[in-house]
């Protein structure tokens, strides 16, 4: 039997994405409390996310999001990693407030431990992609729009990691060419 790599690439990349999700889940947590959420985006949902990113760019004026929106169309899958917001009751002051009780009056300000936890999870997931020699890039723009679309209800600090198995990593050496967005 002969199996051409091109014929099995998609399935292998989905397997890597699954392993990335496991790595994110099992990544160390600042206080041992698991508030990380992890999802995989594939197929038509990538197209939907890309279109929403184009609209987001238009609404916010963040032109680089156009580049990222086009770029994710070259991904086989996108791993989304976010964190639920939960005060860890350490009164550490990292968030800028002296106590967690004081911080609670500003729910839009994230607990720094939540942010660190999502960063560690992203790093763990990216290490799996690197171990498998899979092209990837961390994109906060993808996560921000996923948050706008409520793809991960209750999550903030969401990051997207598109992956690809192409001849050249499509997520680097990208040239930004502003384009007109049409409805």
Residue-range domains of the chain with CATH: 23-164 (3.40.109.10)
Q: How far is the C-alpha of 126 from the C-alpha of 148, rounded, in Å? A: 24
At 167, the pLDDT band (50, 70, 90 cuts) reads: confident
At 133, the pLDDT band (50, 70, 90 cuts) reads: very high
* Nearest alpha carbon to residue 138 among 53, 84, 177, 80: 80
Q: Taking residues 58-77, what's their average pLDDT?
A: 95
Residues pairing with 183 in the sheet = none
Q: Taking residues 56-70, what's their average pLDDT?
A: 94
Helix (H) or strand (E) holding 48: helix 43-60
Q: How far is the C-alpha of 103 from the C-alpha of 100, rounded, in Å? A: 5
Q: Which residue has the higher pLDDT, 154 or 178?
A: 154
Helix (H) or strand (E) holding 117: helix 112-131
- Amino acid 179: pLDDT: 55
Burial class (CB in 10 A: 0-12, 13-18, 19+), 6: exposed
- Amino acid 32: pLDDT: 86
Q: Is the pLDDT of residue 88 over 70?
A: yes
């Amino acid at each position: 039997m002969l199996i051409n790599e091109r014929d099995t690439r998609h399935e292998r990349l989905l397997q890597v994405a699954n392993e990335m999700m496991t790595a994110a889940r099992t990544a160390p947590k600042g206080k041992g409390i698991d508030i990380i959420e992890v999802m995989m985006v594939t197929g038509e949902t990538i197209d939907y996310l890309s279109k929403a990113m184009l609209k987001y760019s238009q609404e916010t004026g963040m032109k680089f999001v156009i580049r990222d929106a086009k770029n994710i169309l070259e991904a086989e899958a996108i791993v989304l990693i976010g964190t639920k917001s939960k005060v860890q009751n350490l009164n550490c002051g990292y968030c800028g407030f002296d106590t967690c009780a004081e911080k609670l009056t500003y729910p839009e300000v994230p607990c720094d431990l939540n942010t660190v936890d999502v960063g560690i999870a992203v790093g763990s997931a990216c290490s799996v992609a690197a171990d498998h020699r899979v092209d990837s890039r961390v994109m906060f723009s993808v996560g921000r729009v996923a948050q706008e679309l409520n793809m991960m209800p209750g999550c903030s600090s969401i990051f997207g990691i598109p992956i690809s198995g192409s001849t050249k990593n499509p997520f680097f050496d990208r040239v930004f060419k502003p384009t007109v967005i049409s409805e």
